[in-house]
Amino acid sequence: MSSSLMREYLEFYRDLGINELYIDPIDSEPDREDPVDAENQHEAALRVIQNDMGECKRCRLHQARKTIVFGSGNPAAKLVFVGEGPGAEEDEQGLPFVGRAGQLLTRMIDGTCERVGLPIRRPDVYICNVVKCRPPKNRTPEKDEMEICGQFLARQIKAIQPRAICVLGGTAAKALLRTSEGITRLRGNWQEWGGIRVMPTYHPSYLLRGYNKQGKVQAFQDLKQVLLYVYG
C-alpha cells in the first residue's frame, strides 16, 4: 500500500472514530519490495517457524524419522509446491523432493518453463510437504498427523506469501483444501486457500507409475496454467 493510500485509509477510519487498527501482515506488503530485503524478510519469518518446530514430537511421525524435512527453495517465491510427505531419500537428506519423484518434479518445472519461455527454474519456487516427517514405509499420513503438521504448513505459506500454490496429489489436496473430492476431478481447476489461488495436479510419483501418458499431458497443462498465471 502506498503512503498516500495508507494516509487516506487511516483518515477514513479516524473519521469513523476508530483510532487503532490491526493490519494483517499478509495485506501490508509494500508495493515495491527490494528483492533482497524481501527475501531476507521471508527467510527470517521461515526461520522463526523452523525454530518453533524444533525437534518436533507433536505427532507420532517423529518416531521413525531421521530428519525433519522443512522445505526448500526461494523464501520469497511467488509459487509454492506442496506435496504429501517426505520419502526415504528426503528423510536421509533433509530436503523435499530429491528422490525419483523429485527429479521428475524438477524436470516438469524446468521443462514447462522452458517450453513456455519463462526464465524460471526449480530454485526460484519453494517446495514443501503437508507433513514434515517421513511416514513409516511411506504410508499415507493419517488425518490427525496432517492436521497437526498442517499448522506449520499454513504458517510457512503465510510467511512466503506466494501468488499461487500448486498442490501435488490427492492426499495433499484433500488436506490443504479440506475436501473429499479426488485429484482426478480437482486437477486443472483453480481452488483457493486463504485468499491464494491453488492449482491441484498429480503427484509426480503417480506419473512415474508405469506408462501414464495422459497423466503427464494433464500435469503439463496444469503446471503451464499455474506458471503462466504467476510468472507470465
CA-derived radius of gyration, the chain: 19
Q: Does residue number 133 form part of the binding site for ligand SF4 (CB under 6 A)?
A: yes
Q: Find, among 71, 108, 104, 65, the residue nearest to 87 by Cα.
A: 65
The correct pick among 42, 78, 122, 132 for binding ligand SF4 (CB under 6 A) is 132
Q: Does 62 help bind ligand SF4 (rule: CB under 6 A)?
A: yes
**Binds ligand SF4 (CB under 6 A): choice among 45, 46, 49, 61:** 61
Strands 72-73 and 126-129, by their bridges, are: antiparallel
Q: Looking at 6-14, 94-102, 128-136, 203-211, which segment touches ligand SF4 (CB under 6 A)? A: 128-136
Is the Cβ of residue 133 or residue 183 nearer to ligand SF4 in the bound state? Answer: 133
Neighbours of 120 (CB within 10 A): 21
Count of positions on this chain that bind ligand SF4 (CB under 6 A) = 14
How many beta carbons lie within 10 A of that of residue 199, not counting itself? 24
What b-and-e string marks burial along 140-156, b requiring 16 or more CB atoms within 10 Å of the CB? Answer: ebeeebbebbbebbebb
Between 2 and 138, CB nearer to ligand SF4: 138
Query: Is 68 an interacting residue with respect to ligand SF4 (CB under 6 A)?
Result: yes
x/- map, 142-161, ligand SF4, by CB under 6 A: ---x--xx------------
- 232: number of CA atoms within 13 Å, CB side? 12
**At which residue does the C-alpha cell 518453463 appear?**
113
Binding segment (CB under 6 A) for ligand SF4, from list 99-107, 131-139, 173-181, 188-196: 131-139
List of residues contacting ligand SF4 (CB under 6 A): 53, 56-59, 61-62, 68, 131-133, 145, 148-149
